[in-house]
Amino acid sequence: MKRISVLAAAAVTLVVAPASEALAGKPYAATITRTTFGIPHIQARDWRGVGYGVAYAYAEDNLCLLAEEFTTVAGERSRHFGAQAKAVLGFEEVDNLSSDVFFRAVIDLPNLREGAKTLSPRVQDLMAGYVAGYNRFLKDAGTDGTPAECRGKAWVRPITIDDMLRLNEKQMLLASSLNLAPAIANAAPPGNPVPKVAISLPDPKELGIGSNGWAFGGDSTVSGRGILIGNPHFPWKGPSRFWQMHVKGPDGYDVMGVGLAGTPMPTLGFNKDVAWTHTVTEARHFTLYQLALDPADPTRYMIDGNSEAMTAQTVTVPMPEGQAPVTRTLYSSRFGPVFIVPARGIAWTAQSAFALKDANRGNQRGIETWLRIGEAKNVGEVRAAVSETLGIPWVNTIAADRYGDALHADVTAVPNVSAQKAKTCATPIAGLFAEFAILLDGSKAACDWDVASGTPVPGLMPASDQAATVVKSWLTNSNDSYWVSNPAIPHRELSPILGKYATARSLRTRSNFTETTALLAARKLDHARAQGFAFANKSLAADMAVEPLVGLCSGAAILAEPVARGCVALTGWDRRFEASSRGAALFRVFWAKAARLPGLWQVPFDPADPVNTPGTLAIDGAKGEKLLAALAEAVDELDKAGIALDAPWGEVQRMMAGNEAIAIHGGPGTLGVLNMQESRPAPWGGLMPVHGTSYIQIVGFDKKGPVADAILSYSQSTNPASPHAADQTRAYSAKEWHRLPFSAKAIAAEAIGKPKRIAE
């Protein structure tokens, strides 16, 4: 592995904002110093200045993206982009009209404004500073300084605190209500026209959200201090892209890492003592309720034998000039908004309807939680931050510290629904929803969430009933439930709302356990070995299936021509998804078909051995014939796509930067590839990554502070004209690592230009 360390031709001295006379006495002031890859280091004397500097720097890199995001959460996409056009909302494409109706109805702005008054002064200052910094950049850039993609557009406008409140609410709902936006926006009482838009019930495993995270304690490392490897899997395009930043603020706050669009400080990263990462949890952050309707009125429902009116809310969505606005009335119960998914039989009839209650609706605690994590001196303080606030919306927290402790905390804002309540309040059709959510009986008030003492919001599950573990060995998560973070120490069973217990793990989780165990069995971990581990690109599915599949080929008397070609290609494959790997494209298509075959494995799942079961590919008789048929179909599919069976993977999976094709290593998580990259057919032929490995960080500690190597796979800027639109993508392609500058001396040595001082 190479390590990048680019020094500026003329090093500059880092200037601390509070020491600058030019910034003294200004309500908003910050200094921004850029280093290699355009990473901004923001310094400010107060929290207003922190938000101010972060917003300004983010807008420099991603103005069009963020301006469009503010348009989305304001419910104005139809007006500017057309009602029928689509855009990514969360992690899925949604038509603009459904998106606008959802945000105008579900985002309760008056309630958010009231809630904001109770936020800590520093959170209020951060948000006020972000508004000022974004607006300052718009003023400084002017029309000429606005990227071509959004220059002169009416939707590029100054923002207010309301925009920040809406955006924060949207981020909290990313893994819950947001995925049912069309289902909520198009719900209407019986007798209304059937919605013309496609409405689906999301599969939690297909939402496009994932990640791997490892916390290695002192017993597993050469240094005896903790090492963290973070590998969140997030989209390559859209507002859920990560952006790197280093923030030095008041009271010793000094944190480097990443955040999403509109985040006023790092939400994933490290300080001098602690490093942390996040993975999307399997816990469900909402419940569904089946409502028994009043026979006299489908907008009333029965609670304990009494009729209760739904709350009606009429919203009006502006359309492009010359078109009449669209008005809709949505309905909510005490359990939340009514939703429909006609294709799945979830309909609003005269007898019943369905509602969704979301634990993250109105969750404004997240920023304070992440500030506390950034201030933590050890993993115990990280655990306290997530447990006391219950502000983390939908991710596991994995952390390691300089003292050699490792933490995995699956502690989030989750409904307080016990296993007994889920059973007692189940309706006859609850089993049909089991893969997606817990369905409860909405005709009984007792089926509402239980209220426990000490939680910041009534109805949340207390941290003491969720999963958190601290060890000196190691812990990891690849989006499966809390049950197993280390095969040697499985967790006790908890409420089913926190995820499945004693069930088969995904191939990515099993690969994680297998590879981690092998890594540490050889010797203890250091940075160099962690780098190789992060980009090994092994496929557990290939290790389990290729040899028996090729054996089927050699054992057959006669092979159809496509099968024979496929077997030759797989025989020569190294079973990895390196840019140079030949045969990877074929196995990717084959496994998507083979994995769906019934009776795929001879050895069934054994809860006593979740790492190695199920296993042993079933190849006898008809099962073997089906595997060869799947291989023939895969060969035919690649032939039609014009992709050679032995094409190097890096020539198939590419990202285009202008006319430059950048080879992208990594492969699908469903194949047990830890360096996950999910791709779709590209306009230029082959595949382009759309979701997967994003900000990869390896963080350890020495006597002076953190030692961090990282790379952002899709780079800092979404502006094609920026020099930082593809520079880290090239580094990722070459498996080059960047030693992040954290100290003032390192920042000054790596600065690319003079510090920018902004104030008003």
Instruction: Please count the other Cβ atoms lying within 10 Å of the Cβ belonging to residue 592.
Output: 16
Whose CA is closest to 719, among 243, 66, 35, 62? Answer: 62
Q: Count how many Cα atoms sit within 13 Å of the Cα of residue 438 in the half-sphere of its side chain.
A: 32
**Helix%, strand%, coil% for the chain, nearest 5:** 35, 25, 40
Give the span between the Cα atoms of 739 and 731, in whole angstroms: 12
Question: What length is written for the chain?
Answer: 760
Residue showing tokens 């917003």: 55
Q: Which residues are catalytic?
A: 211
Residues 6+ apart with CB under 8 A from 327: 314, 315, 316, 317
> How remote is the C-alpha of 575 from its chain's centroid?
27
* Cis peptide leading into residue 706 (ω within 30°): no
What are the structure tokens assigned to 168, written together? 């924060």
Give the span between the Cα atoms of 369 and 388, in whole angstroms: 9
Give the span between the Cα atoms of 104 and 170, in whole angstroms: 12
> In whole angstroms, how far apart are CA 297 and each of 291, 310, 333, 349?
13, 10, 14, 11
Give the span between the Cα atoms of 82 and 646, in whole angstroms: 43
**689 backbone dihedrals φ, ψ, rounded to 5°:** -70, 140
Whose CA is closest to 272, among 143, 378, 125? Answer: 378
Q: Is 13 within 8 Å of 38 (Cβ atoms)?
A: no
Instruction: Please count the other Cβ atoms lying within 10 Å of the Cβ belonging to residue 207.
Output: 17
> In whole angstroms, how far apart are CA 649 and each of 182, 392, 440?
37, 37, 47
**302 backbone dihedrals φ, ψ, rounded to 5°:** -95, 130
Give the span between the Cα atoms of 677 and 663, in whole angstroms: 12
Identify residue 86 by its one-letter amino acid code.
K
What are the structure tokens assigned to 563, written together? 């099968």
Q: Is 146 within 8 Å of 156 (Cβ atoms)?
A: yes
Output 159-163 pairs: Cβ under 8 A, ≥24 positions apart: 159/70, 159/131, 159/134, 159/135, 160/131, 161/116, 161/127, 161/128, 161/131, 162/109, 162/113, 163/70, 163/73, 163/74, 163/131
> In whole angstroms, how far apart are CA 24 and each of 15, 52, 126, 214, 224?
13, 15, 19, 43, 44
